[in-house]
Amino acid sequence: MKSIIRIQKLGFPWQTQDPFLFCAHHRDLYPAGNGDLGPEAKSLQGRRIGEDFTLKEGWRMYHGQTIPGFPYHPHRGFETITIATEGTIDHFDSLGASGRFSNGDVQWMTAGKGVQHSEMFPLIHPDKENPLEIFQVWLNLPKKDKMVEPHYAMLWAEDVQVATVKDVNGLSTTITVIAGDYLDTKAPRPTPNSWANNPSNGVRVWTIKMEPEGEWALPKAQKNVNRTLFFYSGDEVVIDGEKIGVDHAISLAPEEDITLKSGQKEACFLLLQGKPINEPVAQHGPFVMNTSQEIQQAFADYQQTQFGGWPWDRPDPTHGSENKRFAIYADGTEERKI
């Protein structure tokens, strides 16, 4: 059986397979911050502020006007998984929850019947650069769960398990297990209504780093899953004898043990795997349902209720310049990290 099903060039966003809807990799080398936690005003000249997705001078403002990021916007019918490998992200939502997360933390949010949230990237360091790297993954919900109550959870870096495997030459591959398991290394539990919460759905979300010229075997999975390996950093990788350059998505057969060999540079991957939901997908912007009528209802509901309104004093709030990680949930529970 051929281990590679398809190879595609990476674009923006990355092309995903059911049960995943969307994946974007954000790598921005932000400068030192000003007093407003954004870049200096002069560096915003020539940018399409509010819609700046062009990589200029190594960074983008996205929908931010003063602070980079994504001011408040609604979602319904799916989940967002935000993986922070570097930098600072501030979360606020219409349930009254908020938090700050950074290097190695993961935010998992079930939008369910509807929520508004903002994700801003404050430049908290005024005396040095503020590099940011995140992955934003959208995981679909089946019809029966599209209207569940929204839920927001943090998977802190201290709780996200990392496996390290050495090849016969002593070269290491590290696997960060965000969803599912890798051999005996298990991820924290996701949100209660997530498609990933049922082990039989075979959902895996891993980040993988291989030392240069290393070798690693990706173990086989159950036969009924889609499996995509996103090769986003490095020079080349050889998969079962086929050489593939960086910036490609590789769709892999799930029932095969697959051998990877990295090139002359460290090779970095994101693995997304899961049993397809196999339901119709109707999507319009931030809403993902099963029919166009449900999309129309989502817009009507949002216009009427604003999904609970926006309890914060600005569309792009932040938590200031202190370098602390925490979460405050809608029920008032707090978690604080060093």
Confidence of residue 29 (pLDDT cuts 50, 70, 90): very high
Lowest mean pLDDT among 1-10, 60-69, 74-83, 115-124: 1-10
The label of the residue with tokens 């509807």 reads 114
| C-alpha span between 262 and 266 (Å, rounded) | 7
Q: Which helix (H) or strand (E) holds 219?
A: none
Mean residue pLDDT across the chain: 96
pLDDT of residue 2: 83
Of the chain, the percentage scoring pLDDT greater than 70 comes to 100
pLDDT of residue 240: 87
CB 203 within 8 A of CB 180: yes
Which pLDDT tens digit goes with each residue over 151-186?
999 999 999 999 999 999 999 999 999 999 999 999
Which letter does DSSP use for residue 161 in this model?
E
Mean pLDDT confidence for 229-249: 97
Please say if the pLDDT value at position 22 is more than 80: yes
**What confidence score (pLDDT) does residue 57 get?**
95
The total of other beta-carbon atoms located within 10 Å of residue 143's CB is: 14
Q: What's residue 322's pLDDT?
A: 87
Q: Which pLDDT score, from 0 to 100, does residue 323 have? A: 85
pLDDT of residue 1: 57
303: pLDDT strictly greater than 90:
yes
DSSP secondary structure letters along 296-333 = HHHHHHHHHHGGG---SSSSS----S---EEEE-TTS-
Give the pLDDT mean for 117-136: 97
Kind plus residue range of the DSSP H or E element containing 30: strand 20-30
Question: What average pLDDT does this structure show over 81-103?
Answer: 97
Residue 250 has pLDDT above 70, yes or no: yes
pLDDT attached to residue 231: 98
**What mean pLDDT comes out for the span 183-199?**
96
CB-side neighbour CA atoms (13 Å) of 62: 21
